Amino acid sequence: MMTATVQSRGQALAIQNLSLEFPTFSGAIKALDNVSINVAKAEIVGIVGESGCGKSVTTMAATGLLPKGRYRITGGSVRLFGHSTLTMDESQLQDVRGKMVSTIFQEPMNALNPTIRIGKQLTDVIMRHEEASLSDARRIARDILADMLIGEPERVMKQYPFELSGGMRQRVLIAMAFSCNPGLIIADEPTTALDVTVQAVILRLIQNRARRTGTSVIFISHNVAVVSQLCDRLYVMYAGRIVEHGATRTVLDAPQHPYTQALLRCLPERVAPKQELEAITGAVPNLMQPPAGCYFQPRCKEAIDLCRSRSPQLAGAEGREVACWRRGVGLEIAEQGSRP
């Protein structure tokens, strides 16, 4: 059991140079390559990128949610409020999950047990981590549901998940995640299946609750527009690597990596009426046999010879980093590499 309190710790999450692969009969899939992500206390951090880029794998590895024996950590470390989660056994991870860190999953019907009433699912979590009595747990559950703008929480606690709408189920998941006052919330694309109106409500609920309680949040999404409304800082992932990082407004207003620029050009709001939506040409590389050099270079219009032979590393200053030979400190080297 962890003895230090969440409030007494500084940094919420520190992932340093994490590399991970999934072994298969055909070879190893290199899912993560030297991924570093840091989240401070009371900070909301976004991770964006296409499906399959490693966003969810990163946080699932950090919290021990990947299936045992199905992956290999080949390098790096993960520290959650000062504790190394990669060295914890399942019992220790269960103490951490729910109390120190909670996850809001993408699909509420898969995350909630359809055969158990909402009230019992909430109170079981609270009693497991807060050592509360049943009556206290029911009171906490009722209050947190009301805080999520759910009307008649007593009635909702008696219902099954299938009796609620998608938006209501997602609010229940948010309530469950916040119920034990964790120091870190991982929101894994929690608004993907919701309509725009409900999506805006869910985002405000997460943000307001996090700000009020001083909870750190990692918000995972493929939707840059959604992240722009919520996050203080932003990490852009591509094919298991971080390619750009910085303050959200800085990254979105002046993107440096060609992949970030391409993502923003694909936003519908940036296209004039009746014009065709832009798409990123090509496909995400096969991580069993990734390309040499920069993984994005087969799809990049700015690629030079150096991009095809050497892998760029994140570089920058004052909290702004980019992994591109044509940007920042790599520009001079890139120009030399492109000369005959």
**Host domain of residue 227:** 6-100+182-338
- Say if residue 260's pLDDT is above 80: yes
More confident residue, 337 or 271: 271
What is the average pLDDT across 130-141? Answer: 93
Q: How confident is the model at residue 63 (pLDDT cuts 50, 70, 90)?
A: very high
| pLDDT tier, 2 (very low <50, low <70, confident <90, very high otherwise) | very low
The token pair that represents 23 in the structure block = 């072994």
Q: What is the pLDDT of residues 282-291, one digit of tens each?
A: 888 999 999 9
How are strands ordered across the β-sheet holding 44-48? 101-104, 184-188, 216-221, 44-48, 233-238, 241-247, 320-322, 315-317
Contact between residue 176 and residue 105 where contact means Cβ atoms under 8 Å apart: no
57: in domain: yes
- At 196 the pLDDT is 79
| Nearest partner of 162 among 109, 124, 107, 122, judged by Cα | 109
Give pLDDT, residue 83: 93
169 in any annotated domain: no
For 321: left if phi > 0, alpha if psi spans -120 to 50, otherwise beta; the answer is beta
Which pLDDT score, from 0 to 100, does residue 82 have? Answer: 92
Q: Is residue 149 part of a domain?
A: no
- Number of domains forming the structure of the chain: 1
Predicted confidence at residue 119, as pLDDT, reads 97
Q: What is the spatial distance between Cα 229 and Cα 226, in angstroms, rounded to a whole number?
A: 6
Kindly report the CATH number assigned to the domain that includes residue 212: 3.40.50.300
Q: How confident is the model at residue 193 (pLDDT cuts 50, 70, 90)?
A: low
pLDDT higher than threshold 70 for residue 7: no
> Considering the chain, what percentage of its residues have pLDDT values greater than 70?
92
CB atoms within 10 A of CB 185: 24
In a domain, residue 326? The reply is yes
Instruction: For the sheet with 72-80, list strands across it.
Output: 27-39, 13-24, 72-80, 83-84
Quote the pLDDT of residue 281: 87
